[in-house]
Structure 1
Amino acid sequence: MSEGRGSVVDFSRIQWRKSSRSTQEGNCVEVASGRAVVPARDFRNPDGPVLGFGPDEWRAFISSVKTGRHDLH
């Protein structure tokens, strides 16, 4: 994954966490803390792709989820 102007981010050593509201079916997203990038991935596919959100974009995404803008079922 690229961050900023093409630098590579190593996600192998970060601490992933998931919501306490995750479903029993495992339909959840894991996130990790980051300064320039908030990484997010599919809990069921830890070796799969990682999406990187800027802090402002992450806050906007979380806000839109909380308001029901996305179909989460």
Structure 2
Amino acid sequence: MSADFAAAKWRKSSRSNSEQECVEIAEASSAIGIRDSKNPNGGHLALKRAVFAGLLNRMKAGDFDI
């Protein structure tokens, strides 16, 4: 999937501490981007909105050991 995140506003959870060890997300027209705040220039993972929503739902349901 290709999505343009060049002008995207990246954000992290309000529950994150002040350390730079967070997952950040940004919205593009067709996708949600996910990146590591420790390395913002290291690339990102782009997921279709429905896939991202499914991932969040599974995380909230406790389907992953995180």
TM-score by length of 1: 0.74
TM-score by length of 2: 0.80
Return the match for 2:11 from 8, 11, 17. 17
Give aligned-pair identity as a percent.
Answer: 35
For residues 19-66 of structure 1, the C-alpha deviation after alignment (integer angstroms, 9 at most, x for no partner) is 112245543210011221111101111011210000100000111111
Matched, 1:27 2:16: no
> Which consecutive residues of structure 1, in runs of 5 or more, have no partner in the other structure?
4-8
> Which consecutive residues of structure 2, in runs of 5 or more, have no partner in the other structure?
none
Deviant stretches of 4+, over 6 Å? none
Whether contact under 8 Å (2:5, 2:28) holds in the other structure is no
In the alignment of these two chains, the number of paired residues is: 66
Higher relative contact order (CA 8 A, sep 6+): 2
